[in-house]
Amino acid sequence: MQGQQEIAHTGVSQDRRRFLQASAALAATGMVPLGLASRAFGYRAANDRPQIGQIGCGGQGNYITSRATEFGDVVAVCDVDSKRAEDAKAKQGKGKAAIFEDYRKVLERSDIDIVTIGTPDHWHTKIAIEAMQAGKDVYCEKPLTLTIEEGQLICKVAKETKKVFQVGTQQRSEGPFARAVALCREGRLGKIQKILVAIGGGDKGGPFKKEKAPPHLNWDMWLGQAPKVQYIKERCNYQFRWWYEYSGGKMTDWGAHHVDVAHWILDAHDTSPVSYEGSSVEHPVPLKNGYPTEDDKYNTATAFRVATKFKDGAELIITHHIREENANHGNGVLVIGDKGRIFVDRGKLVGKPVDELKENPLPQDAVAKVLKGQAHGYHMRNFFECVKSRKDPISDVYSHHRAMTTCHLANICIRLGRKIEWDPVKEQIVGDEEAAKWVRREQRKGYEISV
């Protein structure tokens, strides 16, 4: 689709590379005030700043792109909803950005260095792959993928193109999570035996009205690879996540955050649990062979408990609410070791090992080791730093793919209603031919993902 010039485009100009060495040391300290970030990066004038294409102009798409405008300039916005695109042009694009309905028009522009992807989940992979192939660095919202196969394809293309790719799992950069990981890595909990993640339950709703799509929305393109169905407004916008056709419910919504933290704690960056078994599962509609039997109601799970186990025996429990192990915690991560336990969420880190830090603090570099030298406190800044250094950012696609594999397998388990065995080396479901087909989904003609 793109010409050779676009395919060879590196994502940063020679001028932008010149200030890399001068700014890297300062940026890596994490001590740069956010308002001075552009100066710290060495930008001298507007045309020194990376050019950004925003793809997906809903709430989260606007949020991540607004963070990106501190470091670059939005020159193109794209959405299948023309009203949302106009709004993004006015806000992120300062009234000057070009508007497109088709994301491929954004990728064809050789002046665009970076794309932000804030579309519904079922569009992430196709756009991200084609963006990397077109020479763009990518910041994509979580969850990165709709299926396990999509994660495999993204990792393949990222390795081939060597593009910088940050996933929007901000908990790797913000809040008390890195400190929690450091506590575990320093042995303050002893051997980690079990991690429980509470991610909440999905919404119930419907039956919803089927109607004609509004004129400002290209409904066919919104659906993309998903099956062609009549428009229901509750399938769009924030509510898309409660439909298996476009997302994975809470399992991939909050699971993309907290399961990622669990993998981080266990240093499971290149593996996933080997077994998955569900219980206490509730869906708002009946399922047959794993598929919803009604098409006018939300269909992702509203309650669940999936017990998973890694090869080394460590357990990971994914549930809508933690009501076990003498705990009654809400959304967050409970880590249990043979010497202690901690609970961490976006607002707190608690537990006896935390209290003991008053008398026995962590080594000064413990958190820095966890972050691999990256600055803590601002996810988008980390991405732009890596665009210059060409290093993998804190939320790389490879570790995120493994965390999402865990989430996808948990969903397969509760949808089919049986235990799933997984080979994390071959990345295959073991001993269940029917379940093995679920690592991918059929893609509607014209919207297939290809590499």
pLDDT digits (tens, 9 = 90+) for 117-149: 999 999 999 999 999 999 999 999 999 999 999
Which pLDDT band, with edges at 50, 70 and 90, does 376 fall under?
Answer: confident
Q: Give how far Cα 336 sits from Cα of 273, 325, 413, Å.
A: 17, 9, 24
CB 146 within 8 A of CB 124: yes
- The class that CATH gives domain 4-172 is alpha beta
pLDDT digits (tens, 9 = 90+) for 236-295: 999 999 999 999 999 999 999 999 999 999 999 999 999 999 999 999 999 999 999 999
The per-residue DSSP string of 361-377 comes to PPPTTHHHHHTTTPPSS
82 CB-near residues (< 8 Å, 6+ apart): 99, 101, 216, 217
Distances (CA, A) of 25 to 21, 29, 228: 7, 7, 51
What local confidence, expressed as pLDDT, does residue 294 receive? 98
SS3 of 414-429: the string is: HHHCCCEEEECCCCEE
| Token pair in block for residue 241 | 């996540």
DSSP single-letter state for residue 30: T
Q: In this predicted structure, what is the pLDDT of residue 372? A: 86
The structural architecture, per CATH, of the domain 177-363+398-439 is 2-Layer Sandwich (3.30)
96-105, 138-147, 377-386: least confident range: 377-386
- For residue 47, the model assigns a pLDDT of 59
Report the pLDDT averaged over residues 407-431: 98
pLDDT averaged over every residue in the chain: 90
Tell me how far apart the alpha carbons of residues 163 and 186 are, in angstroms, rounded to a whole number: 33
Q: How far apart are CA 181 and CA 402, in angstroms?
A: 17
Whole-model pTM: value is 0.89
Confidence at residue 438, expressed as pLDDT on a 0 to 100 scale: 98
Cis omega (within 30 of 0) for bond into 227: no
Q: Which H or E run contains 16?
A: helix 14-18
The structural domains of the chain, with segments of one domain joined by +, span 4-172, 177-363+398-439
Type of residue found at 430: V
Least confident of 93-97, 149-153, 325-329, 411-415: 325-329
Reply yes or no on whether the pLDDT at 416 is more than 90. yes
- C-alpha dihedral sign at 132, 406, 345, 367: negative
Region 414-428 average pLDDT: 98
pLDDT over 90 percentage in the chain: 85
pLDDT of residue 375: 78
